Structure 1
């Protein structure tokens, strides 16, 4: 077995997702899909995944692929993360008996830092943004020889995330639309690649002030954006990946922006109406669907509530993570 060719950063195809599904079988929890009510919307409860987010899928795919190749250095694996990808990497590394060093910004929620340490990872807190933690991680790679993973910008990571979509379709084969929140674009790239393959629409939802994918679509290439949102701890990437931009070029992809107020309200409604305690990143997806939050839609269609499902349209909203503190609900 050999690893796929990742010299082309825009290379992600459906066979990569099929290979990932075979590689991580039995290593992750199959997603639970449940009806929200009588409105045709279902929830994919991916926050019930190991480590509390979808990130476990990509981490397992990355770790298992390199284990099979015997390519782990003595220094183990390292990653820069807002928290969730680091948790998944540390969890998968511990299961494989591989050392893990995780770099996070100092703004990372304490609940994530504590869980990282519980997985036996070495934790380094650097800077106030993900980009600063990423720079420190790269320096560590160069000095130690550790294998560099990534929170979202790697085909193995994105392909692992895409296995979520194949599981959703097994339960809802006549699905019309899947809705996902977007940070750097790993989850989106994997899900949209799988969804497009099956003729399913993908709605990509971002906070108005963490709009890396939307900005990349407008510019025609990944560009740096400002990061300022209540969901920035998970969605605060400065730029989207080339993998995500390539996936977004499908006619089946729609981009939506939502306000922080809509995100907060959607998160609160998930708790009040369904007793689902999720992080702001997960609520961002719901806020992007008309009726998910109560924000008004602007004429450009990119403001809160920007995607309006058609009558009888079957929509799946991915609730991607729940590494949050109940104290702020």
Structure 2
């Protein structure tokens, strides 16, 4: 059986994106073995720009890209809209009604045609129909090979910045970023680094899939629903997570809020609740590093209001 995502995809994505995305830094906290990878400094304020741009560049190599279509709770839409603007083509994004106002405004400022629908499944359906024409390219939030590979290229930045690394904590949602990071570490020669998926108790896509032995529908609610509210883990995420032995760690909404507040109060890092979830795992004790374990916490998105 052919893998849905491979290291070949990651290496191809790195080549396509070279010189087109920000090389994001890693912050080492003095006196601590916890590192913060600052992917929220990516163009568009989100890792999803990597995946969207890689998707469009791969499509452009096969034929003209005339229009971009995306469905997302927010950040993939932002990444797709910015990638479309970068390539000079129009974008239409379908977002659920729960999408925060500031993200809708951001999308409009990026020049996207924003269509709000009832929920994320409805957004997926509408986007698939709208993209069914020559020259239109659909950008899925997580379950596309090129999207997952593009997002995973942040792993090359991480390993270039860190001499020793044992574990990476990654927010899950649909699992495309998680899968990309796992394969990105392998492509970078760090296949011994452990990857742990972190999700809120109200958006447990990975936890539910691992328990069931397959992706299953889950209710999604809570403070991080706009960024982590996938209806189920994607096939790419499940294949990589199950074969790589990735485990799920759950945190509460209160943990996510506290982590986001501390990052702002102590380090002047302002990120989304969903992006703060991996840090919440360490801060709350849901994930307890072993003595001397070097843990990188991925902070992946900053499309959030200041209050």
> What interval of TM-score do these two structures reach, taking the shorter chain for normalisation?
over 0.9
Residue 215 of structure 1 and its aligned partner are, at CA, apart by 0.8
Aligned to 1:268: 261
Deviations 1:139-184 (A, max 9, x none): 3224787322211110000001111112100111321111111101
Residue 203 of structure 1 and its aligned partner are, at CA, apart by 1.1
C-alpha contact (below 8 Å) 2:272/2:302 kept by paired residues: yes
Secondary structure at the counterpart of residue 255 of structure 1? strand
C-alpha contact (below 8 Å) 1:196/1:252 kept by paired residues: no
Aligned to 1:149: 139
Secondary structure at the counterpart of residue 11 of structure 1? coil
CA–CA distance in 2 between the matches of 1:251 and 1:323?
Answer: 30
Aligned pair count reads 304
C-alpha contact (below 8 Å) 1:181/1:206 kept by paired residues: yes
Aligned to 1:247: 240
C-alpha contact (below 8 Å) 2:33/2:294 kept by paired residues: yes
C-alpha contact (below 8 Å) 2:199/2:277 kept by paired residues: yes
Q: 2:114 aligns with which of 123, 130, 136?
A: 123
Aligned to 1:86: 77
Aligned to 2:222: 229
Secondary structure at the counterpart of residue 69 of structure 1? coil
Aligned to 1:256: 249
Aligned to 1:317: 297
Q: 1:307 aligns with which of 287, 291, 300?
A: 287
Residue 58 of structure 1 and its aligned partner are, at CA, apart by 0.4
Secondary structure at the counterpart of residue 170 of structure 1? helix
Q: Which runs of 5+ in 2 are unaligned?
A: none
CA–CA distance in 2 between the matches of 1:211 and 1:170?
Answer: 31
Deviations 1:173-232 (A, max 9, x none): 321111111101111010022235621000100001101111111111111000012000
C-alpha contact (below 8 Å) 2:47/2:300 kept by paired residues: yes
Q: 1:251 to 1:136 in 2, by over 3 A?
A: closer
CA–CA distance in 2 between the matches of 1:37 and 1:135?
Answer: 47
CA–CA distance in 2 between the matches of 1:119 and 1:321?
Answer: 17
Aligned to 1:17: 10
How large is the Cα RMSD of the aligned pairs?
1.7
Moved more, 29-38 or 313-322: 29-38
Secondary structure at the counterpart of residue 42 of structure 1? strand
CA–CA distance in 1 between the matches of 2:64 and 2:249?
Answer: 40
Q: 1:176 aligns with which of 141, 166, 176?
A: 166
| 1:164 and 2:144 correspond | no
Q: 2:46 aligns with which of 32, 53, 63?
A: 53
Q: 1:311 to 1:250 in 2, by over 3 A?
A: farther
Q: Which runs of 5+ in 1 are unaligned?
A: 1-6, 294-304
User: When the two structures are superposed, what TM-score results if normalisation uses the length of structure 2?
Assistant: 0.95
C-alpha contact (below 8 Å) 2:72/2:93 kept by paired residues: yes
C-alpha contact (below 8 Å) 1:195/1:201 kept by paired residues: no
CA–CA distance in 1 between the matches of 2:29 and 2:14?
Answer: 27
